[in-house]
Structure 1
Amino acid sequence: MDRAPGLSVRLKLTLSYAGFLMLAGASLLATVWVYLLRGLPDTAMSSRGLVPIKTIVLHAFAPATAGVLLFLLVFGLLGGWLLAGRMLAPLTRITEATRMAANGSLSHRIELDGRKDEFRELADAFDIMLTRLEAHIAEHQRFAANASHELRTPLAITKTLLDVARTDPARSTHELIGRLHTVNTRAIDLTEALLLLSRADRRSFKREYVDLSLNVEEAIETLLPLAEKHGVTIEASGDITPTVGSRALLLQMTINLLHNAIVHNVAEERIVWVTTSVHPKSVTLTVENTGEQLSAQLVSTLTEPFQRGTERIHHDHAGVGLGLAIVKSIAHAHDGTLTTAPRAGGGLHVTVQLPAATTPPRN
Structure 2
Amino acid sequence: MSVRVRLTLSYAGFLMLAGVLLLAAVWVFLLRYVPDRAMLINPDDQPGHGVFPVRSALLDVFAPKAAAVLAFLLVFGLLGGWILAGRMLAPLSRITHATRMATNGSLSHRIRLPGREDEFRELADAFDTMLAGLEAHIAEQRRFAANASHELRTPLAISKALLDVARTDPNHDTGALIERLHSVNARAIDLTEALLLVSRAERRSFTREHVDLSLMAEEATETLLPLAEKHGVTIETGGDIAFTNGSPALLLQLTTNLVHNAIVHNLPDQGAVWVNTGVNPDVHPKTVVLTVENTGEKLTAQLASTLAEPFRRGTERVHTDHAGVGLGLAIVKTIADAHDGTLTVTPRPVGGISVTVELPATCASHPGR
Match of 1:332 in 2: 337
Aligned with 1:131: secondary structure? helix
Distance in 2, matches of 1:42 and 1:341, equals: 95
The one-letter code matched in structure 1 to 2:236 is: E
Per-residue CA deviations over 1:227-280 (Å, capped at 9, x if unaligned) read 111111111111111111111000000000000000011254211111111222
Match of 1:12 in 2: 6
Residue 313 (structure 2) pairs with residue 312 (structure 1): no
Aligned with 2:278: secondary structure? strand
Matches within 5 A, 1:3-152: 7-46=1-40, 47=48, 49-152=50-153
Per-residue CA deviations over 1:287-310 (Å, capped at 9, x if unaligned) read 111111111111111000000023
Distance in 1, matches of 2:358 and 2:49, equals: 101
Checking the alignment, whether the CA contact within 8 Å between 1:341 and 1:349 is kept in structure 2 is yes
Per-residue CA deviations over 1:215-237 (Å, capped at 9, x if unaligned) read 11110111111111111111111
Distance in 2, matches of 1:48 and 1:200, equals: 104
Distance in 1, matches of 2:192 and 2:318, equals: 23
The one-letter code matched in structure 2 to 1:42 is: D
Aligned with 1:277: secondary structure? strand
Distance in 2, matches of 1:93 and 1:294, equals: 47
Aligned with 1:122: secondary structure? helix
Matches within 5 A, 1:82-231: 82-231=83-232
Match of 1:302 in 2: 307
| TM-score (structure 1 length as normaliser) | 0.95
Identity of aligned residues (%): 73
Distance in 1, matches of 2:279 and 2:315, equals: 35
Checking the alignment, whether the CA contact within 8 Å between 1:263 and 1:315 is kept in structure 2 is no
Distance in 2, matches of 1:267 and 1:348, equals: 15
Report how many aligned residue pairs link the two structures.
354
Checking the alignment, whether the CA contact within 8 Å between 1:301 and 1:309 is kept in structure 2 is no
Q: Which 10-residue stretch deviates more, 48-57 or 151-160?
A: 48-57
Distance in 2, matches of 1:48 and 1:332, equals: 100
Offset at 1:334?
0.9
Match of 2:356 in 1: 351
Structure 2, unaligned runs of 5 or more: 41-47
Checking the alignment, whether the CA contact within 8 Å between 2:290 and 2:356 is kept in structure 1 is yes
Rg comparison, structure with higher value: 2
Checking the alignment, whether the CA contact within 8 Å between 1:260 and 1:318 is kept in structure 2 is no
The one-letter code matched in structure 2 to 1:238 is: G
Aligned with 1:273: secondary structure? strand
Q: Which 10-residue stretch deviates more, 62-71 or 292-301?
A: 292-301
Checking the alignment, whether the CA contact within 8 Å between 2:233 and 2:263 is kept in structure 1 is yes
Q: Say which of 325, 328, 351 aligns to 1:323.
A: 328
Offset at 1:173?
1.2
Distance in 1, matches of 2:252 and 2:102, equals: 39
Checking the alignment, whether the CA contact within 8 Å between 2:233 and 2:269 is kept in structure 1 is no
Structure 1, unaligned runs of 5 or more: 1-6
Distance in 2, matches of 1:250 and 1:310, equals: 27
Relative to 1, partners in 2 of residues 1:48 and 1:83: Cα closer, same or farther, differing over 3 Å? Answer: farther
The one-letter code matched in structure 2 to 1:9 is: V
Match of 2:43 in 1: none
Match of 1:285 in 2: 290
Distance in 1, matches of 2:198 and 2:188, equals: 15
Distance in 2, matches of 1:314 and 1:263, equals: 7
Distance in 2, matches of 1:315 and 1:240, equals: 36
Checking the alignment, whether the CA contact within 8 Å between 2:220 and 2:256 is kept in structure 1 is yes
Per-residue CA deviations over 1:52-108 (Å, capped at 9, x if unaligned) read 211111111000000000000000000100111111111110110011011101111
Distance in 2, matches of 1:89 and 1:99, equals: 16
Checking the alignment, whether the CA contact within 8 Å between 1:331 and 1:352 is kept in structure 2 is yes
Distance in 2, matches of 1:52 and 1:91, equals: 58
Checking the alignment, whether the CA contact within 8 Å between 2:231 and 2:269 is kept in structure 1 is no
Aligned with 2:127: secondary structure? helix
Checking the alignment, whether the CA contact within 8 Å between 1:267 and 1:290 is kept in structure 2 is no
Spell out structure 1 runs of 4+ moving beyond 6 A. none
Distance in 2, matches of 1:82 and 1:359, equals: 61
Distance in 2, matches of 1:62 and 1:211, equals: 85
Distance in 2, matches of 1:58 and 1:23, equals: 20
| TM-score (structure 2 length as normaliser) | 0.94
Offset at 1:359?
3.7
Checking the alignment, whether the CA contact within 8 Å between 2:36 and 2:53 is kept in structure 1 is yes
Distance in 2, matches of 1:313 and 1:133, equals: 33
Distance in 2, matches of 1:218 and 1:349, equals: 20
